[in-house]
Structure 1
Amino acid sequence: MAFSTDPLDELVVPDGTEAKEVALETDGDVLVGSRSTIEFGVRGRNVIAGESVEFGGDIEAEGDCRLDMWCDVAENVLVGQDAYIGERVHIAGKLKVAGDLDIGDDVDIEEGFEANGWIVIRNPMPTIVFLFVYLKHLLLIGEEDTAQQLVSELVDDEDEEADEEPDAEPLVIPRNATVGDDAWRVSTPATIGDDCRLHGNVRAETIDVGADCNIFGSLRARGDVSVGRGTRIHGDLTTRDGDVVIDEDARILGDVSCQDLTLEPGAEVDGTIRADGEITMGTTEREQE
């Protein structure tokens, strides 16, 4: 990934992510762009949110939690290490921090807060710091040593982690997104990893779904859509101007509408197929012989 690339220009759902009834759970970090709405809680390693993000449930962070100004949390915030709460943040429940707490002006915590470490009242997380924090986590997936050093200089708390390789890719929700049981709506491309279980219709510029996923909703995109091996889409698959590729043993439990359609061996479509262009049926090695 080039250093100039904006990490929040795509919805990225890492392998193994599961959307449960009350929370979106992932093994890695959760990075949320400004002015997004998450209609349930989130659970992850580090949770980092930009300005004016709304959470509809608890935030549970094994590591650090960073909330920029004007964020709103409908329930509790539970943090395993340090917390950085920007000015005018509203938390409807409790704030519990196992480590240090940096907290800005005019923060409203309805049920009180507690921290086992130092408590500092200031404006702890300007937007530029937030930018480089999530840049660092994404760039560590590659080998961008210069970017890692720059981020480490800007964010003191991350110095000890600069040479460590993360054990899980972060969940990235772009700016102005809406994520909930009803729909995942973004104006960017969307990439969903392997072995994910999500509820809600996915709306994006393009959609790439990995292998062995269960998506309980429809897929709709302006551009291309690909569905990985063994994945189940419990709804329609529609693209306005793009092509669709459905990999081996994947199944669409609804209609498919696209330009060109490629069906690999074992792929199934239970509903009606509407393709303005070509329909290509893949063949197995035995059939080729």
Structure 2
Amino acid sequence: MKLREPRQTGVRRPTDNDEVYYGPVTLKPTVAIRRDPLDELVVPDGTEAKEVALETDGDVLVGARSTVEFGVRGRNVLAGENVEFGGDIEADGDCRLDMWCDVADNVLVGQDAYIGERVHIGGKLKVAGDLDIGDDVDIEEGFEANGWIVIRNPMPTIVLLFVYLKHLLVIGEEDTAQRLISQLVDEDDDEQPSTEPLVIPRNASVGDEAWRVSTPATIGDDCRLHGNVRAETIDVGADCNVFGSLRARGDVTVGPRTRIHGDLTTRNGDVVVAEDARILGDVSSVDLELGPEAEVDGTIRADGEISMGTTERDPE
């Protein structure tokens, strides 16, 4: 491994007495999973895409073979195989990077880090807790870990555990989810917010110019994003600012008081623009529904029906 001399309390290889096993994980859910939860772009409430980083209060899950041109900042950051990050990774909790990931700058971890084999980090790796690391890891500016350093080959990611947890909550299996939570986070950590994770699906490309996915995209409330959004369907929440256009094959929904600084286009779907929302560009759709006080600054092209809501007046 291309590693400089670390600062740590101990370095060891795993023994037969280790209680934690990072071998292949087999999940046997008690219910049928109809859809892979990673097959959707999910941007939780309050997410902000700044010039150098994508920031969220919750976890960040990135599917395999995706490119994130930003750095990322979140609670726990987990990435599948062969994911590229264009900036720093800052995780308040754990950071887990699967094999062949590439990080352009530093990786700063508030708790434990799990780094798979052949990962490349262009800056420093700083870990406040323990470090699990695979072979052939390249850290250009060295690393520091305050806890144990354990060398394993290979170290598979546990992203699937987080994805499975999210699915259990969606389908109402709260008891099963709670048992998983006790293994993944500290149960007495009451100060951490209950926030939906930021999910970037497999083979996605996310950057300042465009967010390209071949899956549905859901953007929460109070988000501020830069870049054109390209997805199968798009659902944007309330009070958002998207500095780019929206383009989808299917339906597009824009929430109340949201501003889209670009065109809104769908190939075969309908468009709903909620009350007091504004599209600062053209709109092209099959059917178009405009809520009360909704505005479209550009040209409207609708092959089907156009309906406009009206504001209810108070009785005199």
TM-score (norm: length of structure 2): 0.84
1:77 and 2:104 matched? no
Larger Rg: 2
Matches within 5 A, 1:168-179: 168-179=195-206
Q: Deviations over 1:25-56 (max 9, x none)?
A: 00000000000000010000000000000000
Q: Deviations over 1:262-284 (max 9, x none)?
A: 00110000000000000001122
Give SS of 1:285's match: coil
- Gap regions ≥5 residues in structure 1: none
Change (3 A) 1:207 1:148: same
Tell me how far 1:132 sits from its aligned partner: 1.6
Which residue matches 1:270? 297
1:222 and 2:249 matched? yes
1:21 and 2:51 matched? yes
Which residue matches 1:134? 163
- Gap regions ≥5 residues in structure 2: 1-30
Give SS of 2:313's match: helix
Give SS of 1:135's match: helix
Q: Deviations over 1:226-279 (max 9, x none)?
A: 000000000000000000000000000000000000001100000000000000
Give SS of 1:132's match: helix
Matches within 5 A, 1:256-267: 256-267=283-294
Distance in 2 (CA, whole Å) between partners of 1:264 and 1:149 is 40
Q: Deviations over 1:113-161 (max 9, x none)?
A: 110000000036425x321233224534664246426746xxx852744
1:158 and 2:184 matched? yes
Instruction: Check whether the contact 1:141–1:166 (CA below 8 A) recurs between aligned residues.
Output: no
Change (3 A) 1:288 1:14: farther
Which residue matches 1:94? 124
Instruction: Check whether the contact 1:33–1:176 (CA below 8 A) recurs between aligned residues.
Output: yes
Structure 2 residue identity aligned to 1:40: F
1:190 and 2:220 matched? no
CA RMSD of aligned residues (A): 2.3
Aligned residues: 284
Of all paired residues, the percent bearing the same amino acid is 80
Distance in 2 (CA, whole Å) between partners of 1:226 and 1:187 is 17
Which residue matches 2:12? none
Change (3 A) 1:188 1:147: farther
Partner of residue 54 from structure 1, selected from 79, 84, 87: 84
Distance in 1 (CA, whole Å) between partners of 2:298 and 2:314 is 25
Change (3 A) 1:141 1:45: farther
